[in-house]
A and B are shown apart, each in its own frame.
Chain A
Amino acid sequence: MAALPRLFGADAPRPGKHTWRHSLTRWLFIGISLTFLVAVLIAPLLTVFAMALAHGIGVWLHAFSDPDTLAAIRLTLLTAAVVVPLNTIFGLAAAWCIAKFEFRAKSMLITLIDLPLAVSPVVAGLVFVLLFGLNGWFGAWLQEHSISVIFALPGILLATMFVTFPYVARELIPLMQQLGNDEEEAAITLGAGGWLTFFRVTLPKIRWGLVYGVILCNARAMGEFGAVSVVSGHIRGLTNTMPLQIEILYNEYNFVGAFTVASLLTALAALTLLVKSGIDRAGYRRR
């Protein structure tokens, strides 16, 4: 027994424990977990890059020369540039209001903020079609003034905003509740005003949570498919975002093209996770 090597960080065997049984369950659990994750998650992720690079890096790069793909990338960046700052401001306001104060109807407000997460993205797109579409509430008026919302940029922005707006708020609310009000109260007894307290005390305190909320919101905004698909109209080079472009290319059996765009979005998702785990680790050091 004494000669048994210690497996990776395993607990020192407790007296009377059947150590072989202990490590059997342990490796069984780890094995099941990894197999499941490989089949469902890791294999598809690797496929994305394998397919994108199947014909070499040259072909991969060439796929970007497609003007429609470039237009889709531009539109996606524009969408994120508009939606993410707005949702960040909303998230900060909502988190301040919910985490710093006690008021009635607070739990209802939290539920309403969560609502877009539970609503199907297709329904999210649908509601804007019903409001601004040709037969929608404001449809006639919009047409009179020749403003297009549906099948145009404003619709894409609205649908994306609807789907992604809880992300910053949801990241900040628990963080601000957990950090408490002591530092803000200290700043106020030291003579600081509201804005100064917010910018000098609260914002630095929550900055990493905010960063994660923003990049997650960004990843969802760039990757939103269902809601945008309903309102965009799939006009090539005009109202196609990257995920929609993936669909079109895929349906045309242009797999390299589809997976090339997909590999960009996958890299963005991976970067998002990388930043998150970096923040988590930094967070442990700070506390």
Chain B
Amino acid sequence: MAASTRTFREPSVLPGFGLTFGFTTFFLSVMVLLPLAALVLVAASMHWLDFWHVVASPRALGSYRLSFGASLLAASVNAVFGFIIAWTLTRYDFPGRKMVDALIDMPFALPTAVSGIALTTVFARNGWIGRYLEPLGVHVTYTWIGVTLALTLISMPFTVRAVQPALAEVQRDLEDAAETLGAGRFTVFRRIILPTVLPALLTGFTLSFARAVGEYGSVIFIAGNLPLKTEITPLLIVIHLEEFDYRGAAALGVVMLAISFVMLLAINLLQAWGRGRLLRRRS
């Protein structure tokens, strides 16, 4: 037998590696890599001045501002409220807790178009909630607030579901131990709970942000879609497409794709950081 230990794959007694690996990579290449490569190549075929003209036009810049600003805001809102919800769900028992816990996943399963029209209706001038905000001078629909609200809804589960297991993992023993050592409640929170949950919270934040930046369906109903004011980047791509300006669409698509990659990279790094911290602590 060859003593080759540096092979592509560790030997295993289970069969089917070739079949499943082949199928997975084939399907992945055809369905994802090839189309994305097409996008990049189309954009690359543009003259760089044309490219720049599209991606740095005032309208594009305005859409970035809204897409990024609202997404950041939505992710921040979710970081705060998502943490509170995760804390409530893991630490407290109250009637209907199980149902609330199940409802958190709703935005995963709910079509974005449905959340879009529903939110618009609820926060419209005469809507259930909108009518109470109107006298306060808060206009939600057709403003950046509505965009943020829609993004908050669709990206909410990411933060809660990222933080929840981390919070559950903070052992009560650890907190009890800290308390017997004389730590107050706030100290326990700041020194024990927060550091443990931080990587998960950041991961949730990034996931929320990544999801929100690309969102289209729910936003277009509530946003009003005024150029420079309430027009998000994905909508701008659609507008280019409707004008049969494929290259312009591709140029903006590449910008969005680059953002996706950066987000994925950040998520992976954050998760590696979280795991690394855990390992270091264990060893």
Residues of A within 8 A of B (CB): 8-10, 26, 29-30, 32-34, 36-37, 39-45, 47-48, 51, 89-90, 93-94, 96-98, 100-104, 107, 109, 111-124, 126-131, 133-137, 158, 161-162, 165, 181, 184-185, 188, 193-194, 197-198, 216, 219-220, 222-226, 229-230, 242-244, 246-247, 250, 255, 258-259, 262, 265-266, 268-270, 272-274, 276-277
Give A282 to B94 CA distance when docked, in angstroms: 22
Question: Which residue of A128, A185, A243, A258 is within 8 Å of B35 (Cβ)?
Answer: A128
| Closest A residue by C-beta to B272 | A107
Chain B residues positioned under 8 Å from A244 (CB to CB): 113
Q: Would A101 and B109 be within 8 Å (CB), given that A44-B115, A129-B241 are in contact?
A: no
Chain B residues positioned under 8 Å from A51 (CB to CB): 121
Chain A residues positioned under 8 Å from B15 (CB to CB): 193-194, 197
Distance from B56 Cβ to chain A, minimum over Cβ atoms (Å):
19
Chain A residues positioned under 8 Å from B197 (CB to CB): none
CB pair A265 B20 closer than 8 Å: no
Chain B residues positioned under 8 Å from A103 (CB to CB): 8-10, 17, 21
Question: Which residue of A129, A165, A255, A273 is within 8 Å of B103 (Cβ)?
Answer: A273
| Closest B residue by C-beta to A35 | B81
Chain B residues positioned under 8 Å from A114 (CB to CB): 264
Give A127 to B42 CA distance when docked, in angstroms: 10
Chain A residues positioned under 8 Å from B268 (CB to CB): 107, 111
CB pair A37 B93 closer than 8 Å: no
Question: Which residue of A47, A229, A246, A265 is within 8 Å of B110 (Cβ)?
Answer: A265
Q: Would A120 and B20 be within 8 Å (CB), given that A33-B84, A34-B100, A246-B114 are in contact?
A: no
CB pair B118 A90 closer than 8 Å: no
Give A127 to B268 CA distance when docked, in angstroms: 25
| Closest A residue by C-beta to B89 | A33
Q: Does B146 contact A (CB under 8 A)?
A: no
Give A270 to B35 CA distance when docked, in angstroms: 33
CB pair B113 A90 closer than 8 Å: no
Give A224 to B111 CA distance when docked, in angstroms: 6
Chain A residues positioned under 8 Å from B260 (CB to CB): 115, 118-120, 123
CB pair B241 A230 closer than 8 Å: yes
Chain B residues positioned under 8 Å from A98 (CB to CB): 24
CB pair A127 B38 closer than 8 Å: yes
Distance from A186 Cβ to chain B, minimum over Cβ atoms (Å):
11
Question: Which residue of A40, A111, A130, A197 is within 8 Å of B246 (Cβ)?
Answer: A130
Q: Would A93 and B24 be within 8 Å (CB), given that A43-B129, A185-B14, A246-B114 are in contact?
A: yes
Contact code string B188-218 (vs A, CB < 8 Å = 1, else 0): 0000000000000000000000110111110
Give A226 to B156 CA distance when docked, in angstroms: 19
Q: Does B223 contact A (CB under 8 A)?
A: no
Give A246 to B221 CA distance when docked, in angstroms: 11
Residues in B101-154 with C-beta less than 8 Å from chain A: 101-103, 105-115, 117-119, 121-122, 127-129, 149, 152-153
CB pair B31 A127 closer than 8 Å: no
Chain B residues positioned under 8 Å from A158 (CB to CB): 31
